Amino acid sequence: MADYFTHFSCLLDVGTPENAARALDLYNALSAEGASEEPPSEGFQLSIQPEHGGTKLWMRDEITGDPERLIQFVKRCAEEFGLTGRWGFQYASTCSRPRLDGFGGGAHALDLATGETVGWTYTDGWLAEILSGERART
C-alpha cells in the first residue's frame, strides 16, 4: 500500500513579536477545529523564527500537511493583525511508492488585505489535459 504526502515550508511575517506570540493562540484554536473534523485535518507545524527578528512564523509539514488549513490560518492572521500585501507558498505532493497519480504539486497566492486568492495552480490533471489536447498550453 502506498502512502501519500503533501510537503511545504514557508514564512509569514506578522509584523511584531507580540503578533507572533498571539498567532500561536490562533494556531492552537485552528488545530483544535481540525482535530474535531472527520477525518481530522493533517494540519501543519508552526514556530516563531527568532533569526528573523521574532516576527516571522515558519509553517511546514511534519510528515504531511494540509494546504487548505495553512491558507485558513494565514487568512486569520491577516485579519487579526491587519496584514497587507501578497503572500504565497508552494507545495509538493509525493508518494511512498511509484504511482502514476502519486506526484504533483501546486502554489497559492493571497492578497492579505482582502483574503482573496490572487492566483493558484495545481498540477493534478494538468499534464493529462495538455497531452490529450483538452487544454491549451500555458
- What's the confidence (pLDDT) of residue 52? 82
Whether 14 is covered by a domain: the verdict is yes
Whether 72 is covered by a domain: the verdict is yes
* CA atoms of 6 and 4, how far apart (whole Å): 7
CA distances from 112 to 55, 76, 128, 136 (A): 16, 10, 33, 31
Whether 110 is covered by a domain: the verdict is yes
Whether 79 is covered by a domain: the verdict is yes
Say whether pLDDT at 137 is over 70: no
CATH number of the domain encompassing residue 83: 3.30.70
More confident: 106 or 100 = 106
Quick one: angle between helices 67-81 and 17-35, nearest 10? Answer: 140
Render pLDDT for 112-131 as a digit per residue (tens, 0 to 9).
999 999 999 988 778 878 88
Task: Name the pTM for this structure.
Answer: 0.88
Instruction: Supply the mean pLDDT for the chain.
Output: 90
